[in-house]
Structure 1
Amino acid sequence: MKFFKLILLFLVISFSTGLQAQTTPVEGSLDGGTIESQLTWLLKKSPNYQEYEMIKRFMANKMKANVLDTLKVMRASINEGKNTITAQQNQINNLKTELANTNQTLEQTNKEKDSISFLGILMSKSGYNALLWGIIAVLIGLLVWFVYKYRNSNLITQQARAKLSEVEEEFEAHRSRALEREQKVRRQLQDEINKQKAGKS
């Protein structure tokens, strides 16, 4: 009963997080498809006793391993995304700090006289302001560029995940077909061996 509740809990989690490892699940086994399709198959294959579902131990262990693998992949993906977001957020914060410092310098400059010494060079106030605004424009451009790169990398990450899901789906379908072909060939070979033995006897 505890394990049945655990399975239902994982089913709810897979619904709430939108977990879809494949767009067309592989039906009829615990070797492929989404967690939802595997749970559905498991429940269909489990006989009922009164109000309880009787699940075979090897099926329960296989389902547990599948769920743990899925959670492991999800955690790794989430951690990778968090690390990327943290690094990019640090870059944006640094640019914001630099921009705030530049604005403060500009305000102080506006209070000074027309002639300003900048790096030992006397400059007019208008020239000095033009230089500072140029720096601000460059910093704003960099800030916009980093925001764009952050959004773009996020989009690329989503596309890569979608492509990975497609590849995994194709691989699972191919593996299933290959297994079916191998089983068919083995059956044919066994039939031939049986025919050969029957012919000799």
Structure 2
Amino acid sequence: MKFAKILITFLLCVSTTGIIFAQEEEDKGSLNSGTIESQFDYMYKKSPKWEDYRSVKTNNLFKFKNNVIDSLKEARKIYAESQNVVSAQKIEIDSLNVKLEATKGNLSAVTEEKDSIKLLGIPMSKTGYNTILWTIIAALTGLLLFFIGKFKRSNTVTVDAKKAKAEIEEEYESHRQRSIEREQKLRRELQDELNKQKYSENATKKK
């Protein structure tokens, strides 16, 4: 009697799973587009439910895995590009810093002179000379601040890319672990049912 109930329950589960899988074959659009979260929700909703567990199709699971890997590759690409921009801007900032220090050194040497000052062989007053030098310094300082601002913005992009990459990796690992745990539980339960069935058949034969 128990074996008959188990057999009927198993056949109902198989038929229900077949119907759900057939419906799922009709609509796969959600695994071909959208965010990782929306794709996971789609796969979760379309997976047949059995008590507290859900069965995920192997094709859908690998499709979702490939989508996560593609997202990780894109995040790594963005991160690499931002790193290249940051490196190039750092070189420019270092060059400007060198020029600024050289200009300051020239200014200090010039201000020590008491008499007339020559610039490119042209004599001029200290006021005029200082005005020109400070104008150059102001221009270089402005450029330096401009590149520092660009550097900070690029750094923000880099941090966001790292954060997105870490979140995607964590999300994928969490989903993978849950899928493995569900699969292991289903296997144990199936084995328990097989053991019960075998025990029941042995008991029947002994009678």
Name the TM-score class by shorter chain.
Answer: 0.5 to 0.7
Distance 1:102 1:56 in 2: 69
Give the alignment's Cα RMSD to 1 decimal: 3.1
Letter of the aligned partner of 2:68 in structure 1?
V
Question: Which residue of structure 1 lines up, in the alignment, with residue 139 of structure 2?
Answer: 138
- 5+ residue gaps, structure 1, are 1-26, 158-201
TM-score of the aligned structures, taking structure 2 as reference length: 0.51
- Report which of the two has the higher share of helix: 2
Shift in Å, 1:132? 1.1
Give the number of the structure whose alpha-carbon radius of gyration is greater: 2
Give the TM-score, by structure 1 length: 0.52
Work out the percentage of aligned pairs sharing the same amino acid: 44
**Aligned pairs, number:** 128
What is the aligned partner in structure 2 of residue 47 from structure 1?
48
1:108 corresponds in structure 2 to: 109
**Residues of 2 paired with 1:28 and 1:48: CA distance?**
21
Partner secondary structure for residue 117 of structure 2: strand
Greater relative contact order structure (CA < 8 Å, 6+ sep): 2
Task: Give ranges in structure 2 of 5+ residues lacking alignment.
Answer: 1-27, 158-207
TM-aligned CA deviation for residue 42 of structure 1: 1.3
Q: Hey, what does 1:123 align to over in structure 2?
A: 124
- What's the counterpart of residue 81 of structure 1? 82
Amino acid at match of 1:138: A
SS at match of 2:31: coil
Q: d(CA) in 1 for partners of 2:58 and 2:85? A: 41
* Contact 1:29 1:38 (C-alpha < 8 Å) held by counterparts: yes
Measure the CA separation in 2 of the matches of 1:143 and 1:64.
45
2:176 corresponds to: none
Mean Cα deviation higher: 61-70 or 127-136: 127-136
Aligned counterparts of 1:33 and 1:134: Cα–Cα separation in 2:
53
What displacement does 1:58 show? Answer: 0.7
- Residue 30 of structure 1 deviates from its aligned partner by 1.0
Matches of 2:63 and 2:103, distance apart in 1? 60
